[in-house]
């Protein structure tokens, strides 16, 4: 067998498997959070800052910063949602910023064990989170298919 040609295939296959496994593990952790946040308590928060940031790739990211109090401690939150932080759609970003004017009141959902982990929007978190692990599993499957291909190569290859 020509190992000079086989080694790159194995490296690429292992890379896909490792990246896929890590991505799936991270996505499953996020999915766990998405499910848990459905039971998080809510409270009122005051919007401290509401603006649009443009990323280096030209995406529009609504940045909403808010403050709320839990057990006498003021918490400053910046997370609007668990997923989807930026789009190439300026109208979408403008709409979100206009819905969260500075000084306005918003509902914030927070983890009672760690109130700094908080979001303004928990809708669709479970649906989006349920899809994400499959991306990681897909990469791992590609790696396994490459390994299977490499194992089936003739010995004279």
pTM for the whole structure: 0.72
Pair type for strands 114-119 and 105-111: antiparallel
Which of the two residues, 147 and 112, has the higher pLDDT score? 112
Q: Which fold has domain 41-121?
A: OB fold (Dihydrolipoamide Acetyltransferase, E2P) (2.40.50)
Sheet holding 105-111, edge to edge: 73-77, 60-70, 42-54, 105-111, 114-119
Q: Report domain extents, the chain.
A: 1-38+126-157, 41-121
Question: Is the pLDDT confidence value at 114 over 70?
Answer: yes
Q: Number of C-alpha atoms within 13 angstroms, CB side, residue 79? A: 17
Q: Are 64 and 49 in contact (CB under 8 A)?
A: yes
Amino acid 155: pLDDT: 54
Q: 137-153 pLDDT, tens per residue?
A: 999 999 999 888 887 76
Query: How far apart are the C-alpha atoms of 130 and 35, rounded to whole Å?
Result: 10
Q: Number of C-alpha atoms within 13 angstroms, CB side, residue 73? A: 9
Joined tokens for residue 129: 């989170």
In the block, tokens 């994400």 appear at 132
Q: Are 23 and 135 in contact (CB under 8 A)?
A: yes
What are phi and psi for residue 45, nearest 5 degrees? Answer: -130, 160
């Amino acid at each position: 067998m020509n190992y000079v040609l086989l080694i790159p295939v194995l490296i690429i296959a292992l890379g896909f498997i490792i990246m896929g496994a890590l991505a799936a593990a991270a996505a499953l952790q996020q999915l766990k959070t998405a499910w848990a946040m459905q039971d998080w308590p809510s409270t009122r928060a005051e919007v401290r800052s509401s603006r649009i940031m443009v990323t280096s790739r030209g995406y529009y990211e609504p940045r909403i910063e808010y403050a709320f109090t839990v057990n006498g401690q003021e918490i400053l939150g910046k997370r609007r949602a668990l997923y989807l932080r930026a789009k190439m759609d300026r109208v979408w970003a403008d709409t979100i910023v206009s819905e969260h004017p500075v000084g306005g009141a918003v509902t914030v959902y927070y983890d009672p064990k760690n109130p700094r982990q908080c979001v303004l929007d928990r809708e669709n978190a479970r649906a989006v989170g349920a899809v994400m692990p499959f991306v990681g599993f897909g990469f791992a499957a590609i790696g396994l298919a490459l390994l299977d291909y490499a194992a089936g190569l003739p010995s004279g290859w």
